[in-house]
Each structure stands twice: as structure tokens, then as C-alpha cells.
Amino acid sequence: MNLTDLSSEQLRRAAAVKDHIQTLVAELNRILGSTSEGASPVRKRRRMSAAARAKIATAQRARWAKQRGTKVPKATAKPRRKVSAAARKHMAEVAKARWAKARAAGRTTL
């Protein structure tokens, strides 16, 4: 049914019903403790551990020090992990074998 087909009395009744529904929704929100109408419940924020915050702060201090051109404190600088020459050679051989197998199967991507 189209709104233009309704009589003025039907439109007034529809408006009254709509107002009544809005009143009931507002009362329901008050009872349930919701702050906004029609919105989903507020989600709790995730908590970050103290260790995670400390790690983030340390990393940020290191970035600032790098930008200023000053030395990064020793506690923040982690030594780079190194892969031995033998391990690099083994990884290269494994990759070559994987690509050879893929080419033999007629695939161009893995």
C-alpha cells in the first residue's frame, strides 16, 4: 500500500503508532541501560598487558632516537638473527627443488 493512498485519519493513526513505538523503545533502552536508541550494545575495549605496553613504548623510543640521530639505548636494540651459510644453502636447495617440481607439473606459481 502506498502512503498517498491512505486517508488523513489513517496517516494520523500511523503517526500515533510510530510515536508509541518510539516511546516503548526509549523505555526499553532505559531499562536495559542502553545509551543510544537502536544502537548495538557498547563493546568493552580490549586490555593490553603491561609487558605489551612496555614493548610498544620501547620501540617508539627507539624510533624517536633513530629520527633524532642519537644512539638507541642498549636495552631496546635487539641483535639481528643470523642464518648460517649452511642453512641458507639448504633453504636455496629446497626452494629450487620445489620450483622444479612445480615446473614439471606445469604450474608457474606455487
Compute the average pLDDT of residues 77-81: 72
Task: State the cell numbers at 25.
Answer: 523503545
Among left, alpha and beta (phi > 0; psi -120 to 50; other), residue 38 is left
Contact predicate 25/38, CB 8 Å: yes
**Residue 34 and residue 43: Cα distance in Å, rounded?**
12
Cα-based angle 18, 4, 8 (whole degrees, multiple of 5): 60
SS3 for the chain is CCHHHCCHHHHHHHHHHHHHHHHHHHHHHHHHCCCCCCCCCCCCCCCCCHHHHHHHHHHHHHHHHHHHCCCCCCCCCCCCCCCCHHHHHHHHHHHHHHHHHHHHCCCCCC
pLDDT in tens, 20-46: 999 999 888 888 876 555 556 677 888
pLDDT tens across 84-107, in order? 999 999 999 999 999 999 889 887
